[in-house]
Every structure is written in C-alpha cells, then in structure tokens.
Amino acid sequence: MASGRQAEAGRYVRLVPGAGYLLVLLLIVFAIFGEGFATLPNILNIGVQGSVLLLLALPMTLIIMTEGLDLSMGAVLSLAGVVLATLLMNERGLAIGLAAAAGVGLAFGIANGVLVVTLGLPPFVATLGTLGVAQGLALVLTGGQSVVGIGEALPALYESRRFGVPFSILIAAGAFLVFWLAVKWTRLGSYVPALGGNREALALAGVRVNLVHIGIYAAGGLMSGLAALLLTGRMSAGHPTAAIGLEFDAIAAVIVGGTSFERGKGTLTGTLVGVLTIGALKNGLNVMSVSSSLQVASIGVLVIAALVIDSTLALRSSFR
Amino acid sequence: MRGISRAFPGVRALDDVSLTVEAGSVHVLLGQNGAGKSTLIRVLCGAHHPDAGEILIDGRAVRLQSPADARRLGVAVIFQEFSLVPYLNLAQNIFLGREPRGRLPGAIDHGAMHAAARRLLDGLGLALDTHVLAHTLGVAEQQVVEIAKALSQDARILVMDEPTAALSDREIERLFDRVRVLRQSGVAIIYISHRLQEIFEIGDRITILRDGRNVASLSPAETSVDHLVGLMVGRQVTTTYRGRFRDRPGEVLLDVRDLHAENGIRGATLDVRAGEVVGLAGLVGAGRTELARAIFGADRVVSGSVRVAGMPLSRGPVGAVRAGVALVPENRKTEGLALMRSVHDNVLVAGLRTLFPGGWYRAARAARAVADVIGRLRIATPSPARLVRFLSGGNQQKVVVGKWFTAGSRFFIFDEPTRGIDVGAKAELYGVIDGLVAGGAAVLMISSELPEVVAVCDRAYVMRDRRIVGELKRLGSSSDNVLTEQNILRMAMHHG
C-alpha cells in the first residue's frame, strides 16, 4: 500500500529514468573525490564533450522507439565531416560546406529509411550495410589521411561563446529544444510511440505510416551530417574514422535514458539524462585519472545498472 | 452488402453473404467460431477485398480499397484485438491520426484534445485521467477507451465485435445506454456477441451465419435462444471416428482440483481417466488454452492441485514431462516442431532421457525407436532423415505425437489438433487419438469445432470466462447433459 502513490505516478510517463538517480550519485561521488570536477569550466567541458553525442542520441531515441536502430550514424558523421573539411580546404565557404554535409547525412538517412521501411530489411542489417558504404566512401575520398588546412572560420566559430556558453552547447541545446517541441506539440509525439507500439493502429487511423517512418530515419541521417560541424570544428580537421563507434555511445545513452527497444516506450528527456550521465562518468573518471580502457568497461556497467534500476521500478509499480 | 464472397487458400470463408443494416438500428451478427463473421467485418472495413459481391452505403455502390476509405465513408470498427498504443495517453490514443490542430501550423491543441476525450470517457462512465498511459489500463478499461475511439469518429456505421467480452455488468449497462443513444441519432450498428441475452436486449434484427453462408435473418421477437442455437449448429451429423467407446474407463490419470492460475483460470476442477478422450470446449477466448498451460505448468498456478496418476505435479513443464504429460500445441510449427530438422531428430527430442538413461547416445537404439514410432503412427515419410518441413500438415502433427511416444507419455493434451489439416488427415489423426486411448493413455482435447468434440470425445467440459461451466457426457442422464453440439453451444454462450 505504501507504493500506492508511486503506482499512480507510474500510470503517467515516468519522468525520472533510472539513470537520473545514477547521475546524481555520480555527481556527488565525483564532486567529493575528483579534484577539480565540481568547477564551472569542467561542468561546461562535460557539456561540450557531450554535444556531438546528444545530436546523434536525439534521433536515435525516436528510431529506437519505432523498434529500429541506426548503426550508420558514426560512419555517416565521419563522411560528412570529411566532405565539409574538403570543401573548406578548397575555400568554398562554411555555408556550402555545411549544406553539403547535411545533404550527405540526409541522403544516407533516407537510404536507411527506404531499406528498412520500404524494402523491409532488418534495421540492424540495413544500417550495418550503409555504415560500411559511408565508411568506405570516407576512406576513398581522403585516401585514409586527415584533411587539414581547413582555414580559421570553422575553428573560430567552434571556439566562440554567447553569454559565456560554448558554441557547441548552444547548438546541442537548440537541437534538443527542436526535438522536444516536435514531440510535445506536433503529431510526431503520437506517431513515434505508435510506430513502435502499434503500427497497425496508426495505419488504420489513415496515417501514411511508411512516410513518417522513413522521415524518422532521415532525421537520423540529417543530424549525423549536422554533427559534422561540431566534430570538424573541434578537431580543426576532417578525419575519415573520427566518429567510428559513436553510434554505440548514442545507443547506450538512449538506453540509459530509459527508452526501450519494444512497444514504443521512450522519452527525449531521458536521453538527455543518459547523455549527461555518460559524459559525467567519462569526465569524472578522467579527473580521477582512471585509464581509458577501464572507462569503456564503466560505460557497460552504467548501461546495465540503469536497466536494472528501471526494471526494478517497473516491477514495483506493476504490483498495484 | 450484397452477395459477398471471399476465399482464402483452402477455405471458402464467405459464400454469397448478404447483409442489410438500416440506419438507426442494431443488427446482430451471430455464428459459431469460423462462421465468417470476422471476415465479413474485415471486408466492410476495407481490410479484406471481396472476391465477388458489392457493398452499398446509402444506396450507392462503394469500393473500399483500404481502411482509410472505409473510415472516410463513416465506417468505424471496434475490433476484439485492442488497437491502443501502449505508451500514448488516453487522449492521444482516442484521437490518433485525427489530432485537433492548434493555432500554430503543425501544432496539436492538447487542451481541446483532452477535453474532448474527457467528454467521451465521461459519457461511457470511465473516470480515469486522460493523461494516463494506455498500457497501465486493465482489459475492461482498454475496451472502454476503444469504444470511445470509435465514437469519436462520428461514425454512421459502427461495428462492435464482442465489445462486452471483458466488461462487467455495470459497464455493459453503460455501453448499452450509449448504443441506444447512437441508434436514436441514426447510426447503423452491427453488433457481434456470443452473449445471447444481450442480443434480445439490444438487437433489432439478427442475421445468422454458418460455414460462410447466410442461414437466416429474423427479428428477436420471432425467435428464442433454442431456435438460434439450432440455426447456428445446423443439421446434425452423427459420425464418429472412434473404434469403440469404453463403458468403464480406467484409473484417474489427470486429477485437477480447484485450480486458480495467474493467467486467469478460476477454480477449475476436472479429471481424465485412462482410456478416455475428454473434450475441452468453448468459444475462442474462453480460457481453454490457458487451462491447458496451467495444467502443464507453463503458466504459474496460484492455488489448487494438479495430480497425474496420483502424483502432484511440480516444477513446471519439466516436472510435467517427467510425470508423463505430453502437450501437442496449437501452433505445431512454432511450438511443437523443429521444421528444419529431420523426422528422426524431432521424434527423439523429448525421449532422449527415457531412451538413454545413462546419458550416452546410441544410434542403433535411436533408429529402432524412431522406426517404431513411424510404424505405429503410420507417418508418411520417405525416410527418417526427411526434413519435417516437407511433410504434410497431418504427418507433421503425427510427428509431434510421436515425439511424446518416445518419452513414454501416458497423458496427452491436444490443443486444436486438426486446425489447418485436410479432411483425410483429420480422420487419420482421430485414428491416432483412438489408438492412444485404446492403449491405456488418456487424452484431453481442446477443440473449437463442435462436430469434432461430439464425434471424438467420451466426455467434454465446457468453458466460459475462464471457468468450467459444465460437463457433458456421451451417455448423459438427461437431455441437458448429453454431449451434443447444441448443449455445448448453449453452455459456452452466456445467457440466463
């Protein structure tokens, strides 16, 4: 009976994913034991490091909610970054470079959507295929070398601040706002959970299911392309394998944030918490001089811990 | 709807069926499982295309290419299977695809949506907050939301497929009030239900389907429950597939007492004796498969006892198999067979422990056991190495039975054993069942086909709403408890 109110709350969207508790715990532990962790520059640093990840994790949340997956994001991001850097090197200007990067991303996103939705390939297989294509193209384009000498415009933009907030955090915050508003205030908020939870019901409601579904994969590609702006700016170069494996961090962040691969369950706020938790963990371990190999293992532990907390909470609230 | 026909591979689901529904009336569609009701509804809502016949709405012939077409023409359907999205709230579910637009382009007016949902749910007496997520609702609550969803479409033709199956009496009264209001406002309602007393309470006209054909169309005033049941069952065919029925069955092999299970089974008590085929009859959703799963230990038992040959069962399916219980599941392809393996491998899989108690596999003994099973069940296969995938449905079913032979099972549960196999294979499978009981085994057979239950079983239990509601015997003491199709149907349908 003591859990009556909690069970009642469970009937709505659970606002705090399991990772929320972990994040608070991590912040406290690192603030106590990590020297220099709880300083403003370091906190901003967590945000900067997490910005690219958030750009990928936002569309990844929607894709996973449709019971899908996009493994190609890291490779597409690398390819878009190489294209952007090459155009900058040839002094074509930032606008053209960004448009080209976005175009590359969008093209791959639409390809993913068509493969999965129209042709019915399993998302794992389809996006593994486009991962290979994008990675291969990036290597061919550069001959495996980094593209340097991209001029000062992009690095300067990346280093700039507004109201004391780094550029990359502003971009990430803007992206979050756009996604959040789209889910909160447009039909997308109903369609995405329906695609994963009951596709048939959505089709019977007369919605053009396939188009919406492809659009979600397209958004994944577009965001991967746009993320190239931040990554290339940070490195002052384009590297064909810069973002390899980043999609797995994005998937981890989404899962840590309480989104499920089944039945259309998930929230963007959860993903934000997931990105911050992974960022805080990496940063904190760095501050405490833990080796990078152990950091990889710690993310694995984090994913499992978040899932255990979530399933325990779900189990409790199911005993009504 | 005029002269609608629709065939599926191997089945003529609808054969020249006509149905006329007037605005402002409730038209009840009645028929056994598989009579063609669902197919007719799917044609009406655009999910199936008829092979022949036409649909007229307001006297004009219409072509329904998709569910969206049907919806535009004012046809709304409440299906038995729930169409709610688990992680959307009630308002989002009710207005899915028809969200009220806000002032900004592309925006939703959440306030208007929740207010409209509130009004609809109030009208149906559901006091839940519209912000609650659908997956947290119980079945009855979900059903009410489903009805609200259909009502929100301002339908002119509303199809309700067993809307009351999960509802309590009070909820049903509320629903009927709504239905009467809708009827008054000129909506044409097609109502499918197995609860006969409802039909007399709400129906203006009754159409009965049997084997995909129109049998009768009449008004409730000119008929009775017995008359309706008779029309649904049709002509009596008294064939039997059994060699002989035993007058005196043997020892009790299965003894179930007051079984309650997590899957909803409530207070089931039954027994099956050696040498008996006992039927488990009832309509789809009555809980027959659930009862079988609870007996087998596949679903958790809350209270009560299951004894096989006097020994209490425990430890779930493992304990059941070791005690000699064999389950021949409904979905043999997914639950009973490894399609890409050979007859030999499939037959042996359940009997390895019995055949090779020491744990060492011996090819010669295995081959002998397989040959024995193939011979005894007369499985038509060119060799034991043949992949099960290439066998006919009837022979696949025999392989599932054979698998339990090698395990030394004495008590068999058959779940819809003849679904999807042809007439000849059916007769042969009945022969297998007859052979089993003649050899001292006991059989519990779940079947939706009434003629099959009557022709094959010594006794039958009838289920409704996850309870056993009656027992019928081949040699009943009065006309009310003799095993006939009418009696089964009467018990399986809710009335009185």
Supply the pLDDT for residue B314: 76
Contact B61/A at CB under 8 A:
no
**A187: which chain B residues are within 8 Å (Cβ-Cβ)?**
99, 106, 108
Interface residue B87 vs chain A (CB under 8 A):
yes
Question: Is residue A3, in this structure, part of any structural domain at all?
Answer: no
Strand B52-57 vs strand B2-8: parallel, antiparallel, or unpaired? antiparallel
B112 touches chain A (CB under 8 A): no
Give the pLDDT score at A227: 94
The Cα B410–Cα B354 span in angstroms is 13
Runs of H (alpha helix) within B45-96? 67-72, 90-94
**pLDDT band with cut points at 50, 70 and 90 for residue A226:** very high
When CB atoms are compared, the residue of A12, A187, A204 closest to B99 is A187
- Of the partner residues B96, B97, B133, the one whose CB lies closest to the CB of residue A12: B133
Tell me the torsion sign for CA atoms B447, B453, B458, B461: positive
For residue B197, the model assigns a pLDDT of 75
Mean pLDDT of B148-170: 80
Angle made by CA atoms B152, B155, B160, in degrees to the nearest 5: 90
Q: Of A186, A56, A195, A187, nearest to A116 (Cα)?
A: A195
Other C-beta atoms lying within 10 Å of the C-beta of residue A16: 15
pLDDT at A3 over 50: no
B92 with A189: Cβ contact below 8 A: yes
Q: How far apart, in whole angstroms, are the C-alpha atoms of residue B437 and residue B246?
A: 10
Please list every residue in chain A whose beta carbon sits closer than 8 Å to the beta carbon of residue B131: 12
The confidence score (pLDDT) of residue A318 equals 47
For chain B, the structural domain boundaries read 2-84+137-233, 252-492
pLDDT for res B318: 83
Q: If you search the block for the tokens 């060699």, which residue do you land on? A: B243
How far apart (Å, rounded) are the C-alpha atoms in residues B305 and B269?
9
One-letter amino acid identity for B93?
N
Domain that holds residue A178: 17-314
Kindly tell me the burial class for residue A289, based on how many C-beta atoms sit within 10 Å of its own C-beta (0-12, 13-18, 19 or more): exposed
B2-84+137-233 falls under which CATH superfamily? P-loop containing nucleotide triphosphate hydrolases (3.40.50.300)
Mutate to test the interface with B, among A6, A190, A259 (most CBs of B within 10 A): A190
Task: Check whether A147 has a pLDDT greater than 70.
Answer: yes
Lowest mean pLDDT among A7-16, A302-311, B241-250: A7-16
Query: pLDDT grade, residue A268 (50/70/90)?
Result: very high
% of chain B with per-residue pLDDT over 90: 9
In the structure, what pLDDT confidence band is assigned to residue B9 with cuts at 50, 70 and 90? low
Q: What is the pLDDT of residue A273?
A: 92
A205 and B98 within 8 Å at the Cβ level: the answer is yes
Q: Which residues of A touch B142 (CB under 8 A)?
A: none
Q: Mind telling me how many Å the CA of B375 is from chain A's nearest CA?
A: 43
* CB within 8 Å of B143: residues ≥ 6 apart: B82, B163, B165, B166, B167
Q: How far is B73 from chain A (nearest CA, A)?
A: 13
How confident is the model at residue B251, as a pLDDT?
Answer: 87
Q: What is the mean pLDDT of residues B482-491?
A: 85
Above 60 in pLDDT, residue B375? yes
CB–CB of B107 and A206 under 8 A? no
Looking at the predicted structure, is the pLDDT value of residue A7 above 80?
no
**Inter-chain touch A205–B106, beta carbons under 8 Å:** no
Q: Does A318 touch chain B (CB under 8 A)?
A: no
Q: Is the pLDDT of residue A13 over 70?
A: no
Is B111 in the A-facing interface, judged by CB distances under 8 Å?
A: no
> Is residue A8 predicted with pLDDT exceeding 60?
no
**How far apart, in whole angstroms, are the C-alpha atoms of residue B250 and residue B432?**
19
| Chain A partners within 8 Å of B83 (Cβ) | 198, 200-201, 204
pLDDT value at position B257? Answer: 92
User: Which residues are within 8 A (CB) of A89 and not within 5 positions of it... i.e. 6 or more apart?
Assistant: A147, A148, A149, A150, A151
The residue of chain A nearest to residue B83, with distances taken between CA atoms, is A201
The per-residue pLDDT for range A181-199, each reduced to its tens digit, is 999 889 899 999 999 988 8
Of B52-56, B170-174, B237-241, B290-294, which gets the smallest average pLDDT? Answer: B237-241
Query: In the structure, what pLDDT confidence band is assigned to residue A314 with cuts at 50, 70 and 90?
Result: low
Burial class of residue B391 (count of CB atoms within 10 Å of its CB; 0-12, 13-18, 19+): buried
Q: In a mutagenesis test of the B interface, which of A198, A202, A259, A263 is the best target, namely the one with the most B β-carbons within 10 Å?
A: A198
Is the Cβ pair B92, A207 closer than 8 Å?
no
CB contact under 8 A, A12 and B102: no
Q: Which residues in chain A have their CB less than 8 angstroms from residue B150's CB? A: none
Across the range A22-37, mean pLDDT stands at 87
Q: Which residues of chain B make contact with A194, given a CB cutoff of 8 A?
A: 85, 88, 96
Distance of CA A126 to the CA centre of its chain: 19
* Residue in the block written with tokens 């994963």: A196
The pLDDT, as a whole number, for residue A175 is: 96
Q: What is the pLDDT of residues B380-405, one digit of tens each?
A: 888 888 888 888 777 888 888 888 88
Under an 8 A CB cutoff, do B84 and A205 touch? no
Q: Between residues 6 and 25 of chain A, which touch chain B (CB distance below 8 Å)?
A: 10-13
Residues in B closer than 8 angstroms to A4, CB to CB, are none
A197 interaction partners in chain B (CB closer than 8 Å):
85-88
**What residues contact residue A124 under an 8 Å CB cut-off, 6+ apart?**
A69, A71
Residues from chain B contacting residue A14 (CB–CB below 8 Å): none
Q: Is residue A4 part of a domain?
A: no
Q: Which of B86, B108, B136 sits opposite A11 (nearest CB)?
A: B136
A10 assigned to some structural domain: no
CB nearest to A194's CB, from B96, B102, B108: B96
Q: Which band of pLDDT confidence, cut at 50, 70 and 90, is reported for residue B496?
A: very low
Residues of chain B found within 8 Å of residue A207, distances taken between Cβ atoms: 96-97
Instruction: With CB atoms and an 8 Å threshold, state whether A12 touches B97.
Output: no
Q: How many CB pairs below 8 A link A and B?
A: 81
Q: Please judge whether B96 and A190 are an interchain contact, meaning their C-beta atoms are less than 8 angstroms apart.
A: yes
Q: Tens digit of pLDDT for each residue in A71-108?
A: 999 999 999 999 999 999 888 888 999 999 999 999 99
| Domain assignment of residue A148, yes or no | yes
CA distance A183 to chain B (A): 10
Residue A6 clears pLDDT 50, i.e. is over it? no
User: pLDDT at position B169, please?
Assistant: 73
CA B448/CA B457 separation, integer angstroms: 13
Polymer length of chain A: 320
Tokens coding B216? 């009768």
Q: Which residues contact A312 (CB under 8 A, 6 or more apart)?
A: none
Average pLDDT of span A252-281:
90
Residue A312 has pLDDT above 70, yes or no: yes
**Residue of A13, A185, A193 lying closest to B85 (CB–CB):** A193
Q: How many domains does chain A have?
A: 1
Residue to test with chain A: of B77, B85, B152, most A Cβ within 10 A: B85
Contacts of B107 in chain A (CB under 8 A): 185-186
Mean predicted confidence (pLDDT) in B353-377: 86
B83 to chain A, any CB pair closer than 8 A? The answer is yes
What confidence tens digit (pLDDT) does each residue in B104-134 have?
877 889 899 999 999 988 877 778 888 888 8
Joined together, the tokens standing for residue B136 give: 């947290």
Q: By the CB < 8 Å criterion, does B89 face chain A?
A: yes
Residue of A144, A129, A17 whose CA lies nearest to A69: A129
Tell me the average pLDDT of chain B.
82
Check CB contact of B438 with chain A, cutoff 8 Å.
no
Structure tokens at B197: 């007393």
Best CA proximity match to B177, nearest among B143, B194, B201:
B201
Residue B419 banded pLDDT, cuts 50, 70, 90? confident
CB A206 within 8 A of CB A212: no
State whether A202 and B136 contact (CB < 8 Å): no
| pLDDT of the residue at B398 | 86
Considering only CB atoms, B106 lies closest to which of A186, A194, A207, namely A186
Confidence of residue B416 (pLDDT cuts 50, 70, 90): confident
Sheet of B252-261, strands arranged across: B268-273, B252-261, B301-308, B311-312
Q: Phi and psi dihedrals of B62, rounded to 5?
A: -125, 150
- Facing residue for A11 by CB, picked from B71, B95, B133: B133
* Residue A224: inside a domain: yes
List CB contacts (< 8 A) between A12 and chain B.
89, 131-133
Chain A, residues 35-64, CB within 8 A of chain B, namely none
The CATH classification number of B252-492 equals 3.40.50.300
Is residue A16's pLDDT more than 70? no
Q: Are strands B411-415 and B252-261 parallel, antiparallel or unpaired?
A: unpaired
Q: Tens digit of pLDDT for each residue in B63-73?
A: 878 777 888 88
pLDDT of residue A169: 94
| Run of H or E including B207 | strand B205-210
Confidence of residue A208 (pLDDT cuts 50, 70, 90): confident
Where is average pLDDT lowest: B10-14, B284-288, B314-318, B438-442?
A: B10-14
More confident residue, A45 or B248: A45
B12 min Cα distance to partner chain A (Å): 26
**Confidence (pLDDT) at B3:** 61
pTM listed for this prediction: 0.71
Say yes or no to pLDDT of B263 above 80: yes
Within-domain flag for A73: yes
- At residue A173's C-alpha, the angle toward residues A167 and A175, to 5°, is 105
What CATH number corresponds to the domain at position A212?
1.10.3470
Answer yes or no: is pLDDT of B171 > 80: no
Indicate whether A240 belongs to any domain: yes
A210/B contact by beta carbon, under 8 A: no
**What value does the mean pLDDT take over residues B10-25?**
79
Give the Cα separation of B288 and B281 in Å (integer): 7
When CB atoms are compared, the residue of A10, A186, A193 closest to B88 is: A193
Contact A187/B at CB under 8 A: yes
Mutating which of A6, A8, A11 best tests the B interface, going by the most B Cβ atoms within 10 A?
A11
Tell me the DSSP string of B33-46: TTSSHHHHHHHHTT
Q: Identify which has the larger pLDDT, A19 or B320.
A: B320
pLDDT, tens digit (0-9, with 9 covering 90-100), for B26-46: 999 888 766 778 788 888 888
Inter-chain CB proximity B85 and A203 less than 8 Å = no
Distance CA B195, CA B176 (A): 13
